[in-house]
Amino acid sequence: MCGIVGIVGRPGENVVGKIISGLEKLEYRGYDSAGLAVVHDGYIDVLRAVGKLQNLKTKQEGSKIYGNIGIGHTRWATHGKPTENNAHPIRSGSVAVVHNGIVENYKGLRFDLQKDGYVFETDTDTEVIAHLLQRKIAQGCSPRDALRSVQEIIEGSYALAAIFMTFPDTMVAARYRSPLVIGFGEDICVGSDIGAIASIACSEVAYLEDGECAEIIGNEVSFFDASFQPISPKRQKISPGFVSTGKGEYAHHMLKEIMEQPSAIRRTILSNKPDGRMFDGVSRILIVACGTSYYASMVAKYWFEKFLKIPTDVEIASEYRYRSPFIEENVLAIAVTQSGETIDTLEAMEYIRKNSNSRVAAIANVRNSAISRIADFVFYTEAGPEVGVASTKAFTAQLTILASMAFSRHEFLINKLRNLPSICEEILDLQYLVKDLAEKICFADSAIYLGRGSLYPIALEGALKLKEISYIHAEGFAAGEMKHGPIALIDDDMPVICLCPSGELFDKTASNIQVALARGKNVVIFTDPYGRKHLPQEVTKIILPEIIEEFAPILYVIPLQLLAYYVALLRGTDVDKPRNLAKSVTVE
């Protein structure tokens, strides 16, 4: 969740501006508060601000904070409200620390530290890390040994970096179940992801694995494994593709990323050619995912069972491993995650590995992410950096790969899949119609989305997008289930968004629409030329191009993304950074 930047610069250099630049690339990870700390002339100066990074920048511009070694943080609050007092860096005596993750045993550690006379000034779990480090430094330990002792004590997840007043040229960093990388360039850098350190002139990176740590002294870096033995991790060049190009001509990252979907799908098709033989001998497919990726996986269940004839289970990763599920023989497990760092999905994957002999595949948008390093084989969505918190192009790229896998034994469908980008462009040309529709529903308190078959998960996804960025309560339902409860909500003010393309389930969905119309007048239908003729004429309809039925999930989600975007604009919410949300979920 939270974003971490650390820089060890050259003597006399002021790294404050570079820390701010790195945090700008990480603000999607959390914008409850932000802060930085630097070592200068034997002191640690700390600057923190509540809210978005701009508030910290404003403070920094009016200050004289200066130093050649420092750490920065953007926070997504877990323990303690988003206040300046709880903002990172957290300081204890001669130590300042930034932390992403959760210290699960912090209450016991806090009690022990209080008995030793340590006073707690924040509500965060991170403060125990700062005090533990300070205690070891006060006992004469080196920063490296102090860090190691902390790693042996704390339980939970962490990515952390710390600086020291009494060791002004030293920074230490460590990770466990939360991403952290070391960058090499003009300076030595620490970051939560590559984009942050690439923006501050790093050209190479080394990944820390679980339990590993690094000590940076000047321009020298020492790495240690989970047993604290010296190691030499491989350094990799940073691809330009890791660096976001900004919003360009668009007002928001989300709109830019919606409009990039044709090219993202095209690149994903060209770069991924699943072989149908990967399913030979597979008796069951198990997919684990969270959030939007879970809805993409739900669509895949329809495809896999229809075209591969293999039973498929889709599990919410955060629930799966706590059920102690039985995994039969000859299962192919697929983990789907945009960031490749989603902690619940990683833990579900580890459970599968420990409790079965299943092969594990991963679908991710970030190369060298944690999930891609532990899977047997990986498929990459070629969506490029996605900065908007509400996923758009990463979702359709995931669907594209899952479709490629499902259709891998059907050459006709694989060939037709190549037409998707041009059809996407046609749909994006209809955005003016969706914008007009947004004006009709932007004042609603709630909304219902209906779909059948493989469009049921798209109804869920459409509702999720609306609630994520407009704060309208919205729910998606299987259209046939409407009469089993949700129908009680329908009145003339309730928007009912219906997905009704021509195909096998058209008549069934059309009947459900009639039931909704009998109880409310605010019904909107996304359909195609066939639906224009055969659905009630008095109802608002958005007519999409005629397509092969199997491709409808990929294409019908696009106008729902646009609808959420334009409704959010009209309601004046922060489209790219919706309240309480962060892009990469690295805590349970």
The average pLDDT across 227-249 equals 77
Please check the confidence at residue 243 and state whether its pLDDT lies above 60: no
Q: Which of 2, 202, 290, 498 is catalytic?
A: 2
Among 169-178, 347-356, 447-456, 502-511, name the most confident range: 447-456
Per-residue confidence band for 578, with pLDDT thresholds at 50, 70 and 90:
confident
Please check the confidence at residue 34 and state whether its pLDDT lies above 60: yes
Q: Which of 25, 256, 577, 583 is catalytic?
A: 583
pLDDT at 241: 54
Amino acid at 43: Y
Number of Cβ atoms within 10 Å of the Cβ of 504: 9
Encode pLDDT of 258-294 as tens digits: 999 999 999 999 988 888 888 999 999 999 999 999 9
Does the active-site annotation cover 583?
yes
Please check the confidence at residue 557 and state whether its pLDDT lies above 70: yes
Q: What strands lie across the sheet with 33-40, from one edge to the other? A: 43-50, 33-40, 69-75, 3-8, 188-191, 181-185, 202-207, 236-237
The average pLDDT across 386-403 equals 93
How many CA atoms, within 13 angstroms, populate the side-chain half-sphere of residue 526? 31
pLDDT at 59: 86
Per-residue confidence band for 422, with pLDDT thresholds at 50, 70 and 90:
very high
Give which of 171, 178, 169 is closest to 215, Cα–Cα: 171
Beta-bridge mates of residue 377 = 361
Q: How far is CA 553 from the centre of its chain?
A: 21
The average pLDDT across 235-255 equals 76
The average pLDDT across 366-387 equals 85
Q: Which two three-digit tokens encode residue 583?
A: 């892009």
Give which of 259, 270, 528 is closest to 418, Cα–Cα: 270
Q: What percent of the chain has pLDDT over 90?
A: 54
Name the 3-class secondary structure at 90. strand
Encode pLDDT of 308-321 as tens digits: 999 999 999 999 98
The mean predicted confidence, pLDDT, of the chain is: 89
Looking only at the bridges linking them, the beta strands covering 213-217 and 188-191 are unpaired
Encode pLDDT of 430-440 as tens digits: 999 999 999 98
DSSP label of 547: -
Cβ atoms of 180 and 173 within 8 Å: the answer is yes
pLDDT at 449: 97
pLDDT at 523: 92
Does the active-site annotation cover 247?
no
The average pLDDT across 531-539 equals 90
Cβ atoms of 99 and 80 within 8 Å: the answer is no
DSSP one-letter string for 358-416: -EEEEEESSTT-HHHHHSSEEEE-------SSS-SHHHHHHHHHHHHHHTTT-HHHHHH
**In angstroms, rounded to a whole number, what is the distance separating the alpha carbons of residues 432 and 54?**
32
Cβ atoms of 545 and 528 within 8 Å: the answer is yes
Domains in the chain: ranges and CATH: 3-242 (3.60.20.10), 251-418 (3.40.50.10490), 427-588 (3.40.50.10490)
Encode pLDDT of 97-135 as tens digits: 999 888 889 889 889 899 988 888 888 888 999 999 999
Encode pLDDT of 168-214 as tens digits: 999 999 998 888 889 998 889 998 887 777 777 788 888 898 899 99
Cβ atoms of 498 and 479 within 8 Å: the answer is yes
